[in-house]
Amino acid sequence: MAAQETALAALLTEERRFAPGPEFRKRANAPDAGIYDRAARDPESFWSGWANELDWFEPWDAVLEWQPPHARWFTGGRLNVAYNCVDRHLAGPRRNKAALVWEGEPGDRRVYTYWDLHREVVHFASALKALGVEKGDRVAIYLPMVPEAAIAMLACARIGAPHSVVFGGFSAESLRDRINDARARVLITADGGYRRGRVLALKEAADEAIAEAETIEHVVVVRRGGGLEVGVRMEPGRDHWYHELMASASGECPPESLDAEDLLFILYTSGTTGKPKGVVHTTGGYLTHVYATTKLVFDLKEEDLYWCTADVGWVTGHSYIVYGPLANGATVLMYEGAPDWPDRGRLWELVEKYGVTILYTAPTAIRAFMRWGTEWPARSDLSTLRLLGTVGEPINPEAWMWYHEHIGGGRCPIVDTWWQTETGGIMITPLPGLTETKPGSATITFPGIAADVLDAQGDAVPSGYLAITRPWPGMLRTIYGDDARYRQTYWSRWSSEVYFPGDGAKRDEDGYFWILGRVDDVLNVAGHRIGTMEVESALVDHGAVAEAAVVGRADELKGQAIAAFVTLREGIDATESLKVELREHVAHKIGAIARPDDVLFTADLPKTRSGKIMRRLLRDIAEGRALGDTTTLADAAVVAKLKDEYEEKES
């Protein structure tokens, strides 16, 4: 980053405050604010305290060995993640407690107690071993959101075979690239799955992928069932039906004793070069991090029904559907389908049907719910909810308020969490019984985490670049097969001791963090560096706007001009006068420098399969490279076609 680069402007202010209610505070898992000081004084002692709540086969010799940028946590200790998520719950009352409650998109349902889950995991671990899978062998998982996805992950963890889960919506090419990079020996897939009433033919895509994946020796195929009918080609000797393997598998498969630094999983995340990065997470530190954050951030109680709406193909699904909640002995809801199928009330109907108490979802989903209107959640009884969470990107203050009022009924604390695939677990977050929240802010670091906002020279500033200044247990250990890229991407911005997440941020007078968006997306307008998040939040603050995305387009005079893509709430007409009104609204909220030059109304915002806005595509549209007539953005089919074409080009 150039030394002369101007500081990132901090324009948006937020005055609303929400303190924890006295009853919630009284029952909270973290009721004592002294936890922050204790963790700051001795972070290693703090984290070892949480590690001691897990079951270890052998104790560790040292909590942390730090040779920047490489950390080893709980060195010498031995444990097994699957044992901690399943086996250890069998000796007490959790034995017959529901672990996974699953509903498919058509409405089919399965419930697994911890006893049931143990049986399934042990049998599938035995089946994998019978196929020749050994400790250290990589296993690729390409499944819909069915219980077998969690079972497969836990079975791999049981025998020490690192898994690489690939989101079931990814293409054959994406699957192929991830298999080849990890050199996986086995692929676990399904005949198909459901999404918005359509059947996803996963085995067909898997066959296409492994035609160019030489390392795959066996393919295990889950029969989705529930009325799904899709023909599949089974290659004798290579392909095996999951249910047939399970029927003949041994019921004996002791958990492997694994070193705390043994590889648990590889998870691929997009890279700016186009080549996905295989983020490496290991065993002891990762499990300690997700166990502690699940218990404190979600204030998890024995009686809770917890629902994280992510897919297990993303890190949120790894950390906060499978490993963190199950290590805590939680009851977890899994849902296969879309939140708006067969109608826009499906998600809220599920909350009522299962008595969900904790809901963890994405701001992009919340903004969609806003656009659809309050009548949908109002049809369902949401009174069982006691805590709400957000994950995946910064949340606009008005979306936060809508979530608070219309979903939480004004009574549920909201934990707005910041973290990444690379961090493994939550890093910046409120603790719901302690932290006064501000709409749009992730507030402060989780105890034991150290973060700051730095400028290009590494000096602390009110507004600049987010930095993590101390190692943490859940941190990535490297990029699989490319340690040089690991060092360059994350540890070269300031020094090998400071992690660079790639996000802009500001800190307010209370020390709260406000994430301003990806540094790659920062707007440079007439010498002012402006975060996308603040302009988008100003737009969403207007009553007509459901969602907005802003990008910079080339401008001869200012360097960049601001182009705003706006999706309106249902029933609002897109007019020229509204464009003018929105431009002035932004100027009033955060200043004339941030007034959009262009306002483009769009039926939908093109997003990746993980819900991230496709800003490069929007930039191409704004600069006239991807679409001649921008008024056609009002047609949802045009947006979908552009998105598909762009995804194909990017892959």
Whichever domain contains 307, its CATH number is 3.40.50.12780
Nearest to 136 by CA among 262, 261, 260, 220: 262
307 lies in the same domain as 433: yes
Q: For residues 250 and 609, which has the higher predicted lDDT (pLDDT)?
A: 250
Could you give the CA distance from residue 330 to residue 29 in angstroms, rounded to a whole number? 14
Confidence class for position 6, pLDDT limits 50, 70, 90 = low
Coil vs helix vs strand at 150: helix
Q: Is residue 221 part of a domain?
A: no
Reported as a pLDDT band with limits 50, 70 and 90, residue 631 is low
Confidence (pLDDT) at 3: 37
How many angstroms separate the CA atoms of 2 and 12, rounded? 25
Q: Please report the pLDDT score of residue 518 as a whole number.
A: 80
Instruction: Tell me the average pLDDT across 99-107.
Output: 97
Residue 468 and residue 564 in one domain = no
How many domains are there within the chain? 2
| Residue that terminates a domain, selected from 444, 471, 504 | 504
* For residue 1, pLDDT beyond 50: no
Residue 204 lies in a domain: no
Handedness of CA 82, 87, 93, 96 (dihedral sign): positive
Residue 53 has pLDDT above 80, yes or no: yes
pLDDT at 587 over 50: yes
> Residue 538: inside a domain, yes or no?
yes
Task: Determine the structural domain holding residue 568 and report its residue range.
Answer: 522-650
**DSSP letter for each residue of 384-444:** T--EEEE-SSPPPHHHHHHIIIIISTTTS-EEE-B--TTT-S--B---TTTPPB-TT--BS
Please identify, among 504, 531, 558, the residue that sits at the C-terminal boundary of a domain.
504
pLDDT at 272 over 80: no
* 487 and 543 part of one domain: no
67 lies in some domain: yes
Tell whether the model's pLDDT for residue 608 goes beyond 80: no
| Residue 474 or residue 607, greater confidence | 474
Residues 569 and 490 in one domain: no
Tell me the Cα Rg of the chain.
Answer: 24
Residues 542 and 393 both lie in one domain: no
Pairing of strands 186-190, 109-113: unpaired
**Average confidence (pLDDT) over 300-329:** 97
Q: Are 269 and 319 members of one domain?
A: yes
Distance CA 15, CA 196 (A): 40
Predicted confidence at residue 560, as pLDDT, reads 84
What element of type H or E holds 466? strand 463-468
CATH number at residue 548: 3.30.300.30
The one-letter code for the residue type at 423 is T
How many whole angstroms separate alpha carbon 609 and alpha carbon 507? 31
Q: How far is CA 422 from CA 447, 468, 599, 611, in A?
A: 18, 12, 35, 18
Indicate the range of 98-107, 146-155, 196-205, 515-524 predicted with least confidence: 515-524
The residue among 475, 504, 533 that closes a domain is: 504
Is residue 200 a part of any domain in this protein? no
Given a contact cutoff of 8 angstroms between Cβ atoms, the answer to whether 316 and 322 are in contact is: no
As given in the structure block, the two tokens for residue 254 are 């002791």
- pLDDT per position as a tens digit, 443-452: 999 999 999 9
pLDDT digits (tens, 9 = 90+) for 343-363: 999 999 999 999 999 999 999
- As given in the structure block, the two tokens for residue 57 are 């086969």
Question: What does the pLDDT read at residue 242?
Answer: 98
Pair 282, 409 in one domain: yes
Model pLDDT, residue 647: 56
Spatial separation of the C-alpha atoms in residues 174 and 365, rounded to whole Å: 24
Strand 451-454: give its sheet, edge to edge: 451-454, 463-468, 503-507, 513-518
Q: 436 and 354 share a domain?
A: yes
Tell me: do 403 and 495 sit in the same domain.
Answer: yes
The closest alpha carbon to 193, from 223, 173, 170, belongs to 223
**Length reported for the chain:** 651
Do the domain assignments include residue 347? yes
Percent with pLDDT over 70 in the chain:
93
Q: Which pLDDT does position 522 carry in this prediction?
A: 72
Q: How far apart are CA 397 and CA 383, in angstroms?
A: 23
Computed over every residue of the chain, the mean pLDDT equals 92
Shared domain check, 566 and 476: no
**Residue 530 pLDDT > 50:** yes
* Within-domain flag for 171: no
The DSSP annotation for 261-293 comes to: TSEEEEEEE--TTSSPEEEEEESHHHHHHHHHH
Residue 623 domain-assigned? Answer: yes
CA dist., res. 164 & res. 184, Å (int):
8
283 shares its domain with 409: yes
pLDDT of residue 488: 95
d(CA 630, CA 100): 46
Asked whether the beta carbons of 237 and 119 are under 8 A apart, the reply is no
313 and 273 inside one domain? yes
